[in-house]
Amino acid sequence: PELFECKTGNNKRPIDTAAEYGNLDILQHLFETQQIKQPDATKGTAELINAAVCHQENTALSFLKRQQDHVRHHLNTLHLACRQLHGHKMVFHLINRASIMYQDKQTGCSPLMVAVQHKQTKCVQELLNHKACTQDAIELVSSVTLRTVFHICAEVNKKEITKELCQSRYLSILLVLAADISGDTPLHICAKVGNVHMSQ
């Protein structure tokens, strides 16, 4: 097992290198024989997302789907894709009713919240345009911070994302008036960070 955790000068394990070069046979072997530590399953899957996007391999996408049930620390693969620069290419393969509604146990964030938080405009567009992304998915409230996606959008202060989220078909009383754990509404946060575009 120690051999599988050896790192190169740029801090890469064998699984990271295999993912980077799209060598799925090695990735599959490492996952199936559980030669990576369980806490590293999330990192391994994150690297695999990058590999699948870089290499445009259907086999990578298929393998990634199979790993969805094995990711630890309550993160699902849609959450991981929404953090990645090219994660929008994966959304179509990973999104369904369950994954879009899934909230991380540590932060309470949904995939849409994660995409907004990481300023992934194309991911936000892909999520919002999918039929699985219904109004109740947009109105999810974090059980940890009591924030909605509008709170996060206000804080991120990115015009393109604000434009996507603030379309009339998504607006609701809940999203506009919801107060987070500090008592702040999205408008309070706009006032704090100077988000003029969203406050309008």
> DSSP characters for the chain?
-HHHH---TTS--HHHHHHHHT-HHHHHHHHHTT-S-GGGHHHHHHHHHHHHHHHT-HHHHHHHHHHGGG--TT--HHHHHTTSTTTHHHHHHH--HHHHH---TTT---HHHHHHHTT-HHHHHHHHHSTT--HHHHT---TTT---HHHHHHHHT-HHHHHHHTSTTT--HHHHH---TTS--HHHHHHHHT-HHHH-
- Rounded to whole angstroms, the Cα distance separating 156 from 71 reads 27
CB atoms within 10 A of CB 117: 18
Q: What pLDDT was estimated at residue 70?
A: 45
Residue 57 has a pLDDT of 53
Is residue 147 within 8 A of residue 141, CB to CB? The reply is: yes
Q: Does domain 104-200 have CATH number 3.40.50.300?
A: no
**pTM of this prediction exceeds 0.75:** no
Domain boundaries, the chain: 1-73, 104-200
The pLDDT of residue 73: 38
Separation in Å, CA 111 to CA 32, 76, 142, 195: 27, 9, 11, 23
Question: What is the spatial distance between Cα 66 and Cα 165, in angstroms, rounded to a whole number?
Answer: 31
Give the span between the Cα atoms of 104 and 74, in whole angstroms.
6
pLDDT value of residue 141: 94
Residue 175, C-beta contacts closer than 8 angstroms, at least 6 positions apart: 138, 139, 148, 149, 150, 186
* Angle subtended by helix axes 58-67 and 24-32, to nearest 10: 10
d(CA 90, CA 126): 10
Q: What integer pLDDT is reported at residue 32 of this predicted model?
A: 60
Q: What is the pLDDT along the chain (200 residues), one digit of tens a residue?
A: 566 677 888 777 777 777 666 676 776 676 665 545 444 555 556 655 655 555 555 565 565 555 554 444 334 678 888 888 888 888 888 888 888 998 988 889 999 999 999 999 999 999 999 999 999 999 999 999 999 999 999 999 999 999 999 887 888 888 889 999 999 999 999 999 998 988 87
